[in-house]
Amino acid sequence: MKNDSFVLIVVATLLIVGCDTGFNKTKECDITQVNGTDDYWAEYLGHDQTVDFWPDEFVNYWAVVVNKNDFPNVGFKIQGEFPEARYFSYNVYGKDRNSTASIFDTQIKAENCSSNPFKNQKKETSINKNLYTLFVVPESVSKFDTNDNVLKFIDGEEEITLILRYYVPARGDRAGVDLPKIEVFDLDSKESVTIPETSNLLMTTPQILGRINAGYSFQIDNNVRFYRGDATGLYPNNDNQYVRTFLNYDDDDVYIIRWKVPTSPKNSSEFDSADVRYSSMNLGDNITNNFDGIYDSQYKLNKDSFVTLVIADEIPELREKAETAGYNFMPWTLPGNKGYLIYRNLLTKEGTTAAYTLNKVPLPNFSTNRSHVITHDAKNYIGDYAPIGLRMTKAEYLADFGGFNHKLRE
């Protein structure tokens, strides 16, 4: 009898503890849901050739704009799910369209009972989603400083733009997840505020187009030189570095471009050891639309880790010659004859073990010093890691690649 009573007491105790543990676990996993909407996001897909500002073909963008004159005292609370992508980030921009603050995937702390897959964290619960919550508030507001994932914008800006980016998204344009919910709230009352939906954000100005078109006079010979890109006013990603070149394309032209490829990660466990998180070469035009691109996983490399890219009209014998040689081929599909090649590196490794950085290349000023056309060639600063190229006729290309390989050996 005593033994039976003891067993009953033990079982009852275990049940109580089990229920209490389950209750506490549920309580600890409670997440304050955002009273928001995903309607504020304006969608800009990188593979859409009508989008301005040279979007990378393999990156998708979502933007929200708030006019601070109309909404002077607001902040953002954003709740989303970690996407299936190579990388994702948020950038805040002022009216001049330059990034003033940013946060990227491995810097973002997961919500309770969620994990951050970009940091190789293992899911500890059966919760279906890996969530994060992000606050975007003015610099002068300190009450959110104890929160995780706080991004601040500059006080006094007339316009605030927030851009979300997914690089190489898996499982569709939205990387297998719903768009994050946004709650715009009054900083004093904490009450929700309704703002207009964002539209027509990415529109280039005459000043930007003038700056771009001035560069086409600096293709002074058949050598293709890459220069540090001036991304001012183009909503650049804070984690990117750029070099670019201008192509004046004639009907009989073929361009060959070659560069040494930095290492990039095969999975998140290689994020810290790779030279860059991601790299790409995209071909746009002089009004900032983008028409084609290749990224690191698509590069055809030789034994020395160089990639060679041929840009020409889509003619079978031109493509066949490139592919037989192990080169990438990119057809010229631009509606005009002014091309703009952008080479991007994302999250370049820093420090003494870094192979190179595109930011070693100084920004040229062609309008004040024409000699920068030669002196500020990226190869003078980063050597083989700088893209270089040669312009030739179709006949020269078909004969011996226009002497390109011989020229490289000189």
- Write out the DSSP string of 45-111: ETT-TT-SS---TTEEEEEEEEETTTSTTEEEEEEEE--SSSEEEEEEE-TT--EEEEEEGGGSPPP
pLDDT computed for residue 99 by the predictor: 95
Q: Which two tokens stand for residue 16?
A: 């109580």
**Which pLDDT value is given to residue 387?**
98
Lowest mean pLDDT among 225-229, 350-354, 380-384: 350-354
Cα–Cα distance measured from residue 179 to residue 168, given in angstroms and rounded to the nearest whole number:
16
pLDDT value at 28 more than 70: no
> Is the whole-model pTM more than 0.85?
yes
Between 26 and 237, name the one with better pLDDT. Answer: 237
Chain region(s) in the chain for CATH 2.60.120: 42-186, 206-409
CATH for 42-186, options being 1.20.1510, 1.20.120, 2.60.120, 1.25.40? 2.60.120
How much is the pLDDT for 126?
A: 56
- Give 175's contacts (C-beta < 8 A, 6+ positions apart): 60, 83, 84, 85, 88, 166, 169
> Mean pLDDT throughout 151-162?
94
Query: What's the chain's average pLDDT?
Result: 90
pLDDT digits (tens, 9 = 90+) for 392-403: 999 999 999 999
| Least confident stretch, 20-29, 190-199, 262-271 | 20-29
- What's the rounded Cα separation, in Å, for the pair 179 and 43? 10
Mean predicted confidence (pLDDT) in 301-313: 97
Question: Taking the alpha carbons of 185, 186, 189, 194 in that order, is the dihedral positive or negative?
Answer: negative
Tens digit of pLDDT for each residue in 242-293? 999 999 999 999 999 999 999 999 999 999 999 999 999 999 999 999 999 9
Q: What is the pLDDT of residue 7?
A: 47
pLDDT band at 330 (very low <50, low <70, confident <90, very high): very high
Choosing among 1.10.287, 2.60.120, 1.25.40, 2.60.40, the CATH entry for 206-409 is 2.60.120
pLDDT number for residue 127? 62
